[in-house]
Amino acid sequence: MLINDILPENSVLSQEKILEDYRLVCESRQVSLLGRKDVMGGRGKFGIFGDGKEVAQAAMARAFHLGDFRSGYYRDQTVEAALGNLTWQQFFAQLYAHVGIDNDPHTGGRSMNGHYATRWLDEAGQWRDQTKLYNAVCDISPTAGQIPRSLGLAYASKLYRHNDALHQYTTFSDRGREIVFATIGDASTSQGMFWETMNAAGVLQVPLLMSVWDDGYGISVPIKYQTTKSSISKALAGLQRTKNEAGIEIFTVAGWDYPALIDTYQRAAALCRDEQVPVLVHVQELTQPQGHSTSGSHERYKNKERLQWEAAHDCNLKFRDWILENGYATEEEVNAIEQEAKETARESRNKAWKAFRQEIEEEQQQVAELIEKAAREVPNGTPLRNLATELRKTYQPLRRDNVSIVRKALRELGTATTAGRQELQDWLGQELEKNAQRYGSHLYSESEESPLKVEAVPPVYEQDAPVLDGRDIIRACFDALFARDARVVAFGEDVGYIGDVNQGLAGLQEKYGASRITDTGIRETTIIGQGIGLAMRGLRPIVEIQYFDYIFYALATLTDDLATLRYRTAGGQKAPLIVRTRGHRLEGIWHSGSQLGAMLGSLRGMHILVPRNFTQAAGFYNTLIQGDDPALVIEPLNGYRLKERLPANIAEMCLPLGEPEVLRPGTDLTIVTYGSMCRIVMEAAAQLEQMGIEVEVIDVQTLLPFDSNHRIVESIKKTNRVLFADEDVPGGASAYMMQQVIEGQNAYRWLDSAPQTLAAKEHRPAYGSDGDYFSKPNIEDIFEAAYAIMHEADPRRFPFLY
């Protein structure tokens, strides 16, 4: 323990700073205590707080520089307050779910408490200067879910330091001086995401400072059931760097020892910043005074001895004793700080609650008056007056109460043509529109850089355009992207030296360098996390998941973190990552992925593109790289050696998202499909033509967005029949397409036959050509499904075949 009679003026430990930190930790503890009371009293739905971690977080904040990043979890309130990113009024506003970025600038009231974010984007959705911010990536609740992206945030510093071409991007980095503070609870280090990240950080040698808050439990499960040797620092000792081997540096420190924490974080941050060595800081002997969350009491699973130990080792109490022992304040001065902290917490809480209630109660009053007015205009207004009374008596109403009562009032008014009814209708329409913005905006980009606003540039072919393999087409596209923009990087398994397993990047590492086109280990989760972090810091990564089937390794990171980022920050953060993979038609259980239904259900917030060939894929990559949304591109796996003409404008051509293409016109039946199925459907259509059936074949090209201009329903108006075909399981993407067209486009009005879907079998595809034929839709399946529809419509013209 450091005991200093006189501290140097430039020391991190000065009397003034010590007392600032003590005030901070006292305030943080008080808001946690009040937060729990508010949840138990019904003001909040759920509470999870950072009590017991205050002193360690205050020490960590002392090592934080402008431009640094925090990729943490839902107990980091103290460090965020220390950095000025969080006021205690905002803390309570988030607890109450007070919508709007004026109230909760972190998530706009969309996330439960403990989820903090710096607003990197201005109102127009443009990047702010990250080097002038204490950057916090918006927290997520899934345990260890915040860790994969921390690898990419740190990797960005390495690229900004070592790639001279990136030094011009001064609003994102000061030549790689930034470090990343990742935080995680000790129990969550049992997750594979954590281990994969620590291994990758050691391999890459990136400035990642990983703090593990160790309070001995994962909810009720003690550490002996969580971690080998009951210590994450001991368990990771094999990653410890040596004089001759790169690795990670490991520090251990007690979470109640303020000066030791200050010293540890200063040394750890300096090592990380100056040498770009990844560091683990294992903060031990922490406590959790209020237990895990408001969902239960920790007294249920902690014995008397443990509770007594926690009371004696409370970090705030230990900090207090240290201050008094070393004479940095008197008992009276410390007492005054503690009292002022209580008052500050109560005042912040009261202001937040008043602001939250005022908006809704004013709305409640307005609605009650409108209903009472409507009641005066009809012969029997008693039911309406009863509704108004019911609303006025509602204790602590929410917006849903106001909206619900207006809907009931309009139901009661029926077809009455009164001014009061019209006013209620107008109020409801306006309120639903406001709430759509409050709770549903920013799923995708609303800025001028949205990929949906990129101008389409069709391919141009010269008369003697070369005919190349698909792999050569996409390589030409990527070559142009790398030549044009130094921010574009690509990495993944086998991406670098051999240029990916299908040669789409062949020769480009040699041309542009290993820092831009890079091999990785077999670690899909952190490949995605690495890409997310780079995209968050202004770079334009294209990351590869080698086969579509492997996307499930990374699905949690894609769905919980990347796809929701813009939404859960109410437009405050973005990560325009392009995820490249390949799927369809290859034979075998694990290399013929077409599980689009799983992606459609999981990745709202990302665009999902399914090009049928590599000219289409190139056009989509050019569009996406100009946009600011994340996307998943699934290249056709059996198309790399199929021949295509090379467009003369391969570097400039852009395909619009959400616009299907009619591959073959027809009048009898519309078949809607995508990806590698297009070739199969086109062959079936040619055979159907010989039977007198003219099929219109439509390639949807993108599933998210899907047919934005309703091109498919226009086809159905002509043919009056539709078949949706794909390689997913029954009820997957084909069912999604049917829902979008029949329900979303009201196509049922023009149907003379029942809409049909044709999908693969429920099982995974069996190996071999026969396995493919009998597992996924084939030409004969398409032919017969289409013919059956026509047979039902006109059995004389199209008699039963067999």
pLDDT tens across 733-745, in order? 999 999 999 999 9
> What pLDDT score was predicted for residue 4?
44
Beta strands across the sheet bearing 756-758: 661-664, 695-699, 669-673, 722-725, 756-758
Provide the 8-state DSSP code for 465.
Answer: P
Tokens of 104: 């909760």
The pLDDT value recorded for residue 282 is 98
Q: What pLDDT, on the 0 to 100 scale, is given for residue 291? A: 87
HSE toward the beta carbon, residue 33, CA cutoff 13 A:
14
pLDDT at position 739: 98
Helix (H) or strand (E) holding 557: helix 555-557
Decide: helix, strand or coil at residue 758.
strand
Question: In this predicted structure, what is the pLDDT of residue 470?
Answer: 96
Contact 548, 583 (CB under 8 A): yes
Tokens of 47: 């509470």
Rounded to an integer, what distance in angstroms lies between the CA atom of residue 321 and that of residue 319? 5
- The backbone torsions φ and ψ at residue 626, rounded to the nearest 5 degrees and listed phi first, read -90, -10
3-state secondary structure of 671: strand
Q: Is residue 717 classed as helix, strand or coil in its secondary structure?
A: helix
Residues 78-90: b if buried by 16+ CB within 10 A, e if exposed:
bbbbbbebbebbb
- Tens-place pLDDT, residues 381-416: 999 999 999 999 999 999 999 999 999 999 999 988
Q: Kindly state the tokens that stand for 224.
A: 């002996």
The token pair at 194 is 């954590």
Residue 235 β-bridge partners: none
Question: Residue 18 CB: number of other CB atoms within 10 A?
Answer: 23
- Structural contact between residues 32 and 99, judged by C-beta atoms closer than 8 angstroms: no
Residue 211 has φ and ψ, to the nearest 5°, of: -100, 125
**Angle formed by the axes of helices 470-484 and 614-626, to 10°?**
20
How many CB atoms are closer than 10 A to CB 752?
11
Residue 325 neighbours by CB distance under 10 Å: 10
Coil, strand or helix at 15: helix
SS3 35: helix
Element (H, E) at 481: helix 470-484
DSSP, res 342: H
Give every residue of the chain whose pLDDT is below 50, as ranges. 1-8
Q: What is the pLDDT of residue 3?
A: 42
Percent of the chain scoring above 90 in pLDDT: 94
Q: At CB < 8 A and 24+ separation, what contacts does 352-357 make? A: 352/89, 352/90, 352/91, 352/92, 352/93, 352/95, 352/96, 352/98, 352/103, 353/43, 353/92, 353/96, 355/89, 355/93, 355/98, 355/103, 356/93, 356/96, 356/98, 356/103, 357/396
- Give CA–CA dist 669/71, Å, rounded: 52
User: How many other CB atoms sit within 10 Å of the CB of residue 317?
Assistant: 15
Beta-strand (E) ranges in 329-487?
467-469
Say if residues 418 and 374 touch (Cβ distance below 8 Å): yes
CA dist 431 and 423 (Å) reads 12
Q: Report the SS3 class of residue 707.
A: coil
